[in-house]
Structure 1
């Protein structure tokens, strides 16, 4: 069951094209709330709104805001024109999108005519916080590179929630976005990762494709119980379509949880068991005791035999990321608190550029 309350809009704190951040009063207390315009339309100060208050009442770090279900002052809405593909299907929030591959789309034929990704590098992450270091590093290495970001439905579903995506697009670091599955709000909508990858190549003419889930990840502390398992399935999808999958290993020496020290158990599970095909994996050389920890994990789990591993010195990447103007945080830690994590993510772009230049 969700918790639902009625509140009044006190202030519009911030407004972007597809999202509004609000201050709402509920039972004489002020709370922050998020409104997605594709779902509920706009609101004005003084409007009464119906709110999903579940995340705040559970004190969740991810999604710890109220969310607007509808504007009670303007509850009746009509359909926009075009499209018939539903996302968030069979829920009270289902919405219609015009998917790039559907029959009435001008792009429909491209999907049936598709042959291959022709060795386009596809960088596949597991956490949304990998997106900034990956894309910033790629743009640093190649100013002309056309970068397309595909957001999966492994975490947050509205792409407009991501301030990182908004900032990267505004600075022309990411050219276009594609939302697949039940995620929504990208420049293009597709029904699954396969057609998302095809759209990135055939419609957006990508030189480099980055795939991660949106903000937030679900983990249960169990072997397979985390949404990042999708990385393995995406690796296989990229290989099926003729691309080059570059898997970012989740590496940290700052996490307090032992299962995430060095190469996270999430990455080990994906690379050892979930994916059935080979990925390219960049591994940093920190020139300290951390290197032996990483090497032992790769050998003990036979990841070095299953995948294409390449080791990189990281001093120059440290310099680049220190100059990054965008906020980089993961699990509450900033760049200086978890350097190994962000450096490893950025290394994937160096590997992608190397592969492009060697073709």
Structure 2
């Protein structure tokens, strides 16, 4: 199940406290690998490392590089000094974290006192690449409002793998991060989506929240066989706790697969069959055939009968990204190659501001 090889570190291309991008020599061939120093120790050129080579051998896209299992010349790691909650449980790489809910936490009592999210807006995506355009549009218009990112365990488990999160935090565009389930490495660690939402509201005092998986997604081409299906239960959780659930539809007219043309079959399945409550679905307005395709999909899947579908004009996505010097890519395509995908996430930010934000609504009256 796991392919393992021994390699020698030949080069360290990029290095940080959370992620090392290295080159390793495996039987005379130099290949790319990632090391998480907090988990598997610091790396030096010449070190002998044990590598998980499974993804490369399977020719995967996201995650298609080697990962250091252990630095055989440095066995020390320093993920956390406290905490009693395990993530990656019952695996050789299980890690100990200090979760906000546990009995020894200074925040423990907050969860017993919690009553409601009080209409806190929560935007839920299905791909990690939706995060950057949403954040750019929201923060350009609301630079002083507190935005929290909750990363699920639907794809990458270490938040350190995300260059998007690193960039957005360094630019001050994400105020705090929370990792849930078996995902780890956020500013706050939570056991599930419910306690993460409570943490965002009561502990971090968030004005808005974005929820979505880390880099990567698993799909099988079947109706229910994809990790993005988590969007449905998450939207249900937001509603259950008294928040405003906002769903970003996966949208594309560049994807060559018919099932992802217009509104992806992933979104149609989630919004048509999986989510149990009425949610808000922002849709970007377009001219011509693309809009006809979207309208037909909404009608055929009866989305307007089940949810609040809101159409918004949005010509600002690229301007918002450029304002912060941000680049985006999804499924190998950049903004110019797949504008509709990124605009869907950006439009969710404008929906939040125009419909959910009381101060902006009052200013527009």
TM-score by length of 1: 0.97
Which runs of 5 or more residues in structure 1 are unaligned? none
Cα RMSD, aligned residues only: 1.4
Report deviation, 1:169: 0.2
1:99-145 superposed Cα distances (whole Å, 9 cap, x missing partner): 01100000000011111111010010000000000000001111111
Tell me the residue number matched to 1:222: 222
* Aligned 1:77-156 pairs, distance under 5 A: 80-156=80-156
Tell me the residue number matched to 2:350: 350
1:283 aligns with 2:283: yes
* Aligned 1:173-322 pairs, distance under 5 A: 173-321=173-321
Which runs of 5 or more residues in structure 2 are unaligned? none
Cα distance in 2 between the residues matched to 1:11 and 1:337: 33
Q: Do the aligned partners of 2:317 and 2:342 also contact (CA within 8 Å) in 1?
A: no
Tell me the residue number matched to 1:42: 42
Q: CA 1:131–1:224 in 2, change beyond 3 Å: closer, same or farther? A: same
1:209-247 superposed Cα distances (whole Å, 9 cap, x missing partner): 000100000000000000000000000000011000110
Q: Do the aligned partners of 2:148 and 2:174 also contact (CA within 8 Å) in 1?
A: yes
Query: 154-163 or 285-294: which moved more?
Result: 285-294
Cα distance in 2 between the residues matched to 1:289 and 1:76: 58
Tell me the residue number matched to 2:56: 56
Q: Do the aligned partners of 1:121 and 1:243 also contact (CA within 8 Å) in 2?
A: yes
Cα distance in 2 between the residues matched to 1:16 and 1:230: 31
Query: 310-319 or 20-29: which moved more?
Result: 310-319
Cα distance in 1 between the residues matched to 2:321 and 2:74: 46
Give the total of aligned pairs. Answer: 359
1:313-346 superposed Cα distances (whole Å, 9 cap, x missing partner): 1223344345452220011100000001111110
1:69 aligns with 2:72: no
1:148-188 superposed Cα distances (whole Å, 9 cap, x missing partner): 00000000000000000000000000000000000000000
1:67-100 superposed Cα distances (whole Å, 9 cap, x missing partner): 0000111236688532110001111111100001
Q: Do the aligned partners of 2:39 and 2:79 also contact (CA within 8 Å) in 1?
A: no
Structure 1 segments (4+ residues) deviating >4 Å: 76-80
Report deviation, 1:248: 0.1
Cα distance in 2 between the residues matched to 1:44 and 1:78: 17
Cα distance in 1 between the residues matched to 2:77 and 2:259: 48
Cα distance in 2 between the residues matched to 1:13 and 1:114: 46
Q: CA 1:78–1:16 in 2, change beyond 3 Å: closer, same or farther? A: closer
Tell me the residue number matched to 1:28: 28
1:14-62 superposed Cα distances (whole Å, 9 cap, x missing partner): 1122111111111011111101123212111111000001111111111
TM-score by length of 2: 0.96
Cα distance in 2 between the residues matched to 1:80 and 1:264: 40
Tell me the residue number matched to 1:161: 161
Q: Do the aligned partners of 2:41 and 2:75 also contact (CA within 8 Å) in 1?
A: no
Cα distance in 2 between the residues matched to 1:215 and 1:123: 17
Cα distance in 2 between the residues matched to 1:201 and 1:193: 12
Report deviation, 1:12: 1.3
Q: Do the aligned partners of 2:14 and 2:22 also contact (CA within 8 Å) in 1?
A: yes
